[in-house]
Amino acid sequence: MPFIIAIDGPAASGKGTIARALAAHYGFHHLDTGLLYRATGAKGGDPIEAARSLAPDDLQRDDLRSAEAGQAASRIAAIPEVRSALVEFQRRFAAQEPGSVLDGRDIGTVICPDAPVKLFVIASNEVRARRRAEELGADPAEMLDQLQERDRRDRERDTAPLRPADDATVIDTSHISVEEAVAAAIAIVERARG
């Protein structure tokens, strides 16, 4: 049976960095599920049809890491029909041997609620805004406004709102290095693997 690691948290908290590191460390498959929503939004047109017709090639677009793509993803992620169209894609991905690491907003609560490891990665708003601004070459104050608006939308949506699973372990990356965050995550996975 594949071993699944579910990682959730808000934008720029460090969840993607931790997810990629864990996938590399264990030789697992990795899916940044936010890319599914970004790619769906970037396709344009009817978002429900875009989600239903999403193909792996759509995840290779160069513009999926832009702030615009992130905002579009957050808006369409609130549409229940879009979410349901992408749930099965994610669950099929998670079922691959020898294991998988999925990061997003609802992996531990909706997509893989039975995952043996669930992490909820957080960081302060100011740290997240600074990270995203550095990544995109943008103004930190503007990034802070965008992140707070996106957080509000993600937390308040009716379908699969952003929240930690009841059995998730929280990792706060505000004041630790990438190496320390990854080491903490590996320690949690090792305990779960016995």
Q: If pLDDT is split at 50, 70 and 90, which confidence band does 182 have?
A: very high
Indicate if the pLDDT at residue 178 is higher than 80.
yes
Q: Annotation-wise, does 133 bind a ligand?
A: no
Q: Any binding-site annotation on 118?
A: no
Q: How do the domains of the chain map onto residue ranges?
A: 3-193
What is the rounded average pLDDT of the residues 170-174?
98
117-153 pLDDT per residue, tens: 999 999 999 999 999 999 889 999 999 999 999 899 8
80 is in an annotated binding site: no
Write the pLDDT tens digit of every residue in 98-117: 999 999 999 999 999 999 99
- The response to whether 14 counts as a known ligand-binding position is yes
17 known member of a binding site: yes
> 125-136 vs 140-156: helix axis angle to the nearest 10?
120
CA distance 5 to 189: 8
- Report the pLDDT value the prediction gives residue 10, as an integer from 0 to 100: 94
Of the chain, the percentage scoring pLDDT greater than 90 comes to 72
> How many Cα atoms are found within 13 Å in the side-chain-facing hemisphere of 162?
23
Quick one: tokens of 98?
A: 């020898």
Distance CA(38)–CA(47), nearest Å, equals: 11
Query: Which token pair is 178?
Result: 């990438």
13 annotated ligand binder: yes
Domain made up of 3-193: CATH architecture:
3-Layer(aba) Sandwich (3.40)
In the chain, the percentage of residues whose pLDDT exceeds 70 is 100
| pLDDT for 67 beyond 80 | no
Residue 160 predicted with pLDDT over 90 = no
Give residue 34's pLDDT. 86
Question: Is 99 annotated as ligand-binding?
Answer: no
**Annotated binding residue 43:** no
Query: What is the β-pairing status of strands 29-32 and 99-104?
Result: parallel
User: Once rounded to an integer, what is the mean pLDDT over residues 169-188?
Assistant: 98
Is 74 annotated in a binding site? The answer is no
